[in-house]
Amino acid sequence: MAMTYNKIIWSDALHACENVDFDVLQNSTVLITGASGLVGTYILACLAQLLNRGVRLRVYAQIASDPPPHLYELASSGRIEFLRADLADFADYARLPEADFICHSAGYAQPSVFMANPTATLQINTCATIALLNRLRRDGKFLFISSSEVYSGLRKPCLTETDIGITTPAHPRSAYIEGKRCGEAICHAFHARGLHATAARLAHIYGPGTRKHDKRVLNSFVEKALCQKRIELLDSGTAVRTYCYVSDAVELLWQILLHGEEPVYNVGGRSTVTIGELAQMVGRITGAEVVFPTTQTEIAGAPEEVHLDLTKVTTEFRKTEFVSMEEGLSATIDWQRGLYESKS
């Protein structure tokens, strides 16, 4: 996979770094879990940018399986060490290094995957979170990547950090929902012991850096558009989503990890579309046909609408500009086009 293919992530990471003060990272050790995931990839790309600028860092990138080719490119300088560890396996916790800054972004983000692996989903968000916090150096900082799914069951037009959902442990997505809630509770418990632990509740982050056959709605639409030239919806597409391009999300995550003082932050975007409108946007860019069904099927437990109040994070870190849906979607489609044209 050529470096020209990876330039989308590299350029995005450069943009994400522009407004963040990284001075506190000098001479530190950073551990990123889930480094091959969408968010983890961009966090790693930002660290690669800093290393290229001469910032002295030791970086560990935890992965559960062989990293995709684009991660090798980002780590080609040799100053990023890949750490193979399964965070759903207690035996691997002993191999986790001590670090000054830890971003715990590991876990299953695709509903079809976390619903099929409930025990691993719970363990990665709970037991692994405790293990990682026990590796945090006393004056270090820890960021737990939580999710807007903690609001599941609420029917409010705008969700703030003081809200919490009302679903039960019997909910079809409970392993993910309760795992994220418990992960946040663990952060609060360690914070009470004097450690700097913060949670960021992400909602519908998208962009380049995913692998083939990602089952999240947007990526599934793009795959169908590129490979079949036809997008068939399962329902009328009236559910509303507010999307955030990954470079915007990662910029805010760095601000939260390095400079945030609150225990929890919402992190999301401002591009609000229905699922049907999203399919039509993808179809328009790719030239694919979009087909709405005559009968309807719903994904079990999927929220109808998620809209986060971003006042806290945008005010504290003075973020006013977000990548537009058109620009972000075009970059995402270009990335996936490269994926499906590649033989790897």
pLDDT digits (tens, 9 = 90+) for 183-215: 999 999 999 999 999 999 999 999 999 989 998
Block residue for tokens 């035996």? 91
Neighbours of 289 (CB within 10 A): 13
> Domain 3-337's class?
alpha beta
| Tokens coding 164 | 């919490």
Between 3 and 70, residue with greater pLDDT: 70
Helix (H) or strand (E) holding 67: none
Helix (H) or strand (E) holding 81: strand 80-84
- pLDDT (0 to 100) of residue 302: 57
Other beta carbons less than 10 A from residue 53's beta carbon: 9
Confirm if 73 and 4 have CB atoms less than 8 A apart: no
Where along the chain do its domains lie? 3-337
Residue at token pair 């450690």: 195
**Nearest CA-CA partner of 34 in 136, 110, 140:** 110
| Structure token digits, residue 80 | 């990023």
Q: Is beta strand 28-33 parallel, antiparallel or unpaired with respect to 57-63?
A: parallel
Instruction: Please write the tens of the pLDDT for every residue from 247-304.
Output: 999 999 999 999 999 999 999 999 999 999 999 999 999 999 999 987 666 555 555 6
Continuous H helices in 243-343 = 246-259, 275-286, 311-317, 325-341
- Does 118 score more than 60 pLDDT? yes
- Cα dihedral 86, 90, 94, 97 in deg (nearest 10): 50
- pTM to 2 decimals? 0.94
What's the pLDDT tens digit per position in 209-227? Answer: 998 999 899 999 999 999 9
